[in-house]
Amino acid sequence: MKKLTKSIAIILGLGLISITATNAATAKKSHIPEICYLFKSQGLLGEWEEQILISKKKLAYKQAAAYMQKNHGMSEIYDIEELSDIECAVSVDTYDKESLDTFYYKEPKVKPKAKTKA
């Protein structure tokens, strides 16, 4: 009887060790929340366009608009709306399937300042 309980204890212990090792080996992905900005603008020919800017950090509306105008050629922006997490996920999926304009914000590179001798 002692051998049986000892064998069961060893089997359970090895099983517990293997489960712990498996959990430690798989990396958990940390979810970085994305913030979506929906832009409504009018093109050169008068047609209305909707474009989404996806950012990992919160932007001021002016900053997001300036980024879209500078990097993606938006001329007249009439409305900017920050979408909720659910609306963001749905919009990104919808826009990707319909191949509409979805852009990802890239942080502008800062040039190092030249040192001057005093």
Tens of each residue's pLDDT in the chain, 118 residues: 777 787 777 776 767 676 665 555 555 544 557 899 998 887 677 778 888 899 999 999 999 988 888 888 787 788 899 998 888 888 877 776 665 688 888 887 767 666 666 5
Q: Which two tokens stand for residue 4?
A: 């049986």
- Give the pLDDT confidence score for residue 82 in this predicted structure: 92
Query: Between β-strands 48-55 and 102-104, what pairing exists: parallel, antiparallel or unpaired?
Result: parallel
Cβ atoms within 10 Å of 55's Cβ, excluding its own:
19
Q: How far is Cα 69 from Cα 78, in angstroms, rounded to an integer?
A: 12
Give me the helices (H) in 26-118, please.
61-72, 85-97
- At 59, the amino acid letter reads L
Q: What is the pLDDT of residue 17?
A: 72
pLDDT given for residue 60 in this prediction: 92
- Tell whether pTM > 0.75: no
